[in-house]
């Protein structure tokens, strides 16, 4: 079964119901209890979300270096993405979700609160973190490396032939998620408090 083709075939006959940022979309679908398919807009890589009775049950990431499904896809979904939502019958949505089901619903948030800075708080330092992704002693090319703060996806890059990616970040604690070309996900916690960190991550 080709899930991507199934989704786009369903969309052709579905009812367009608007365009929303992902957080607003999830809230509106939860409130309505409707079923449907959502397609992200304005990005090189495309996210597809499947709703059943108002809940996100499936997800697909159509990437340049391969596709991800279910939990692996939703973990990389940015809260700021915009989606077009198409309403369908519940049975149709359930059929599509069966091929890209989300099991770890903790990855999905229906609201996002930014940290509120304290009055008089000193400006946080910034720096660059360079990660060298290695597998079995060799540089790992083509790995998607993403940086998250809490549940918010901040930035993402694909490693080159040397396995290196670099990010400019405010000092703090971050989660690093690495997805190789086979779809294997590795997660690491990073404490970043210097002008430059150059480190090797073995997966």
Question: What per-residue confidence (pLDDT) applies to 192?
Answer: 83
Query: How far is the C-alpha of 156 from the C-alpha of 149, rounded, in Å?
Result: 12
Q: How many domains in the chain? A: 2
Whether the pLDDT of residue 68 is over 50: the answer is yes
Query: How far is the C-alpha of 113 from the C-alpha of 183, rounded, in Å?
Result: 30
pLDDT digits (tens, 9 = 90+) for 89-108: 999 999 888 888 888 765 56
Question: What per-residue confidence (pLDDT) applies to 81?
Answer: 83
Higher-pLDDT residue of 189 and 116 is 189
Q: Is the full-model pTM beyond 0.85? A: no
pLDDT digits (tens, 9 = 90+) for 160-188: 889 998 888 888 888 888 888 888 888 88
Domain range for 8:
3-107
For residue 180, give both structure tokens.
């190789």
User: pLDDT category, 22, cuts 50, 70, 90?
Assistant: confident
Question: What per-residue confidence (pLDDT) applies to 114?
Answer: 38
Angle between helices 90-97 and 3-12 (to 10 degrees): 160
Which stretches does DSSP call E strand in the chain?
Answer: 15-21, 35-41, 46-52, 55-63, 66-69, 82-88, 126-135, 138-139, 144-149, 152-158, 164-170, 172-179, 185-192, 196-202
Question: What per-residue confidence (pLDDT) applies to 120?
Answer: 43
Domain presence at residue 121: no
pLDDT digits (tens, 9 = 90+) for 107-164: 564 333 333 344 444 456 788 888 999 988 899 988 888 888 876 778 888 888 899 9
Residue 166 sits in a domain of what CATH number?
2.60.40.10
Query: How far is the C-alpha of 124 from the C-alpha of 39, rounded, in Å?
Result: 36
Domain presence at residue 198: yes
Question: What per-residue confidence (pLDDT) applies to 84?
Answer: 92
14 and 101 housed in the same domain: yes
On whether the CB atoms of residues 176 and 147 are closer than 8 A, the answer is: yes
Report how far apart, in Å, the C-alpha atoms of 46 and of each of 13, 49, 82, 121, 187 are. 20, 10, 10, 38, 22
C-alpha torsion 180→76→67→31, nearest 10: 160
Question: What per-residue confidence (pLDDT) applies to 67?
Answer: 84
Q: Which of 107, 139, 156 is the last residue of a domain?
A: 107
Q: Which of 107, 140, 170 is the last residue of a domain?
A: 107
170 and 130 housed in the same domain: yes
Among residues 90, 4, 16, 111, the alpha carbon closest in space to that of 47 is found at 4
Pairing label, strands 55-63, 66-69: antiparallel
């Amino acid at each position: 079964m080709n899930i991507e083709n199934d989704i786009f075939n369903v969309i052709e006959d579905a009812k367009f119901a608007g365009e929303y940022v992902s957080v607003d979309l999830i809230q509106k679908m939860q409130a309505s209890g409707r079923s449907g398919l959502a397609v992200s807009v304005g990005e090189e890589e495309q996210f597809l979300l499947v709703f059943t009775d108002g809940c996100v049950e499936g997800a697909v990431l159509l990437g340049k270096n391969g596709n991800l499904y279910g939990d692996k896809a939703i973990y990389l979904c940015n809260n700021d993405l915009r989606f077009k939502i198409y309403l369908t019958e519940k049975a149709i949505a359930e059929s599509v979700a069966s091929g890209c089901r989300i099991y770890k619903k903790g990855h999905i948030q229906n609201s996002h609160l930014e940290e509120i800075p304290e009055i008089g708080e000193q400006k946080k330092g910034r720096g660059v973190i360079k990660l060298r992704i290695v597998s079995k002693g060799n540089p790992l090319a083509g790995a998607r490396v993403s940086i998250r703060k809490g549940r918010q996806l901040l930035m993402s890059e694909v490693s080159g032939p040397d396995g290196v990616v670099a990010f400019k970040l405010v000092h703090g604690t971050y989660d690093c998620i690495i997805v190789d070309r086979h779809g294997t996900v590795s997660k690491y916690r990073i404490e970043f408090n210097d002008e430059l960190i150059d480190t090797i991550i073995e997966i």
